[in-house]
């Protein structure tokens, strides 16, 4: 049983990687004009999930703190955006940095008591949060803000430009490009942070906490920082998804949402950035396919894969692809 600590972030991009990314970006830009509106929406959701998975990865993959309750940050981001848009008529794109900042603070504060909890206990506490979340969101006294059981409906934003080079840009396509831009920014920021001092400190703390502390790394600060940044990312993803779906309600944020994030991280690859994209695509599209067999089928598949991946591919699809690629190129 190999550990998942083998993954790390490339410290600089090789020419090949840059080419790959450029090609991918070009494909992404062209994509929405060839598929249905619903598919465009789904791809936007993939981008939103990917940002959330980067967030979860920062906390669990890189910093080694297990969270089974990240749905809570999705909820905070989503509800922040919904309330700001619905009650205060704020433009959608302004709500993103606000919810990000809010989640950064909340996450950091969360991180403080979490410092005292290791492994299983932190998993337990976050699991409890995830289970209690819907009930919290339905709480009568907060109904004025949260809309109670019915939630809040938001107006779908209009595109700023309705056509570009002869191609029509509707709401869905506009929001897709918006999501793409946000995702690009978030991924770049994450990559920059993780390949530098902060990333190294986090991984040191994850792998050898006592040695890290005795080398002078301010462990409590970095761990809480990881929580904060992770929450920020997930909050932004939540905001984005609220805008895309145009609706927030308590029952969207059950414990199964948090588990979905876990599935995405495991399948994509723990402690990898590209893995977040794989994982996001997986959790967005598999239910579509599996739903046709039975309502329960996607989850049965998730469960089997969660266990299977721990046995066979602990470093996720991205890790397996990297390994296979390395073998093909003939590394000894």
Partner 1 sequence: METFLHQLVAGIATGGVYASLALALVMIYQSTHHINFAQGELAMFATYMAWSMVNAGVPYWIAFFSTILLAFVLGVLLQKIIIQPVQNAPVLSVVVVFIGLLVIFNSLAGWIFSYTIKSFPSPFPKEAPFGIKFMSAHELGSIGVTLVLLLFLFGFFRYTPLGLAMRAAAQNPVSSRLVGIRVGWMLALGWGLAAAIGSTAGMMIAPVVFLEPNMMSGILLYAFAAALVGGIDSPGGAVFGGFLVGILENLLGAYLIGTELKLSVALLLIVAVLTIRPAGLFGKVIVTRV
Contacting positions for partner 1 (CB under 8 A): 1, 3-5, 60, 64, 66, 68, 113, 116-121, 123-125, 127-129, 131-132, 135-136, 138-140, 210, 255, 259, 262, 266, 270, 294-300, 302-307, 309-311, 314
The SS3 of residue 115 is coil
Separation CA 118–CA 95 (nearest Å): 34
Report in angstroms how near the CB of residue 29 gets to partner 1 at its nearest. 35
Report in angstroms how near the CB of residue 118 gets to partner 1 at its nearest. 8
CA 180 remoteness from chain centre: 14
* Beta partners for residue 163, in sequence order: 168
Report in angstroms how near the CB of residue 279 gets to partner 1 at its nearest. 13
Q: 69 vs 100, which CB is nearer to partner 1?
A: 69
CA distances from 172 to 42, 43, 53, 189, 205 (A): 10, 10, 22, 26, 42
State the sign of the Cα–Cα–Cα–Cα dihedral 41, 44, 48, 50.
positive
Both structure tokens of 216: 């002078």
Q: 194 vs 271, which CB is nearer to partner 1?
A: 271
CA 146 remoteness from chain centre: 23
Q: 56 vs 83, which CB is nearer to partner 1?
A: 56
Q: 100 vs 264, which CB is nearer to partner 1?
A: 264
Report in angstroms how near the CB of residue 265 gets to partner 1 at its nearest. 9
Report in angstroms how near the CB of residue 194 gets to partner 1 at its nearest. 18
Report in angstroms how near the CB of residue 112 gets to partner 1 at its nearest. 9
**Residues 258, 69 contacting (CB under 8 angstroms):** yes
Q: 95 vs 234, which CB is nearer to partner 1?
A: 234
Separation CA 170–CA 5 (nearest Å): 44
Q: 104 vs 270, which CB is nearer to partner 1?
A: 270
Report in angstroms how near the CB of residue 177 gets to partner 1 at its nearest. 35
Both structure tokens of 271: 């402690």
In this structure, the strands spanning 163-164 and 247-248 are: unpaired
Q: 69 vs 238, which CB is nearer to partner 1?
A: 69
Separation CA 324–CA 174 (nearest Å): 37
């Amino acid at each position: 049983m190999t550990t998942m600590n083998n993954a790390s972030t490339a410290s600089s991009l090789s020419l090949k990687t840059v080419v790959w990314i450029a090609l991918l970006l070009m494909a992404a830009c062209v994509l929405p004009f060839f598929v249905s509106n619903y598919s465009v929406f789904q791809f936007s959701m993939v981008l939103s999930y990917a940002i959330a998975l980067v967030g979860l990865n920062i906390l669990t993959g890189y910093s080694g703190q297990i969270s089974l309750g990240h749905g809570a940050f999705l909820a905070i981001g989503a509800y922040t955006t919904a309330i700001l848009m619905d009650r205060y008529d704020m433009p959608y794109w302004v709500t993103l940095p606000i919810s990000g900042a809010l989640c950064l603070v909340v996450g950091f504060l969360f991180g403080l008591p979490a410092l005292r909890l290791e492994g299983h206990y932190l998993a337990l506490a976050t699991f409890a949060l995830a289970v209690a979340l819907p009930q919290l969101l339905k709480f009568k006294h907060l109904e004025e803000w949260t809309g109670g059981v019915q939630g809040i409906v938001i107006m779908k934003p209009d595109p700023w430009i309705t056509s570009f080079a002869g191609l029509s840009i509707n709401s869905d396509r506009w929001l897709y490009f918006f999501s793409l831009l946000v995702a690009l920014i978030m991924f770049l920021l994450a990559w920059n942070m993780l390949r530098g001092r902060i990333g190294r400190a986090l991984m040191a703390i994850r792998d050898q906490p006592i040695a890290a502390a005795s080398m002078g790394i301010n462990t409590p600060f970095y761990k809480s920082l990881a929580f904060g940044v992770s929450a920020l990312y997930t909050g932004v993803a939540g905001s984005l998804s609220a805008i895309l779906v145009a609706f927030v309600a308590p029952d969207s944020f059950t414990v199964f949402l948090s588990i979905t994030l876990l599935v995405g991280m495991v399948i994509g690859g723990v402690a990898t950035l590209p893995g977040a994209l794989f994982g996001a695509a997986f959790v967005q599209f598999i239910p579509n396919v599996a739903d046709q067999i039975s309502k329960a089928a996607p989850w049965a598949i998730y469960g089997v894969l969660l266990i299977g991946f721990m046995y066979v591919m602990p470093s996720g699809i991205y890790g397996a692809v990297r390994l296979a690629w390395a073998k093909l190129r003939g590394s000894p």
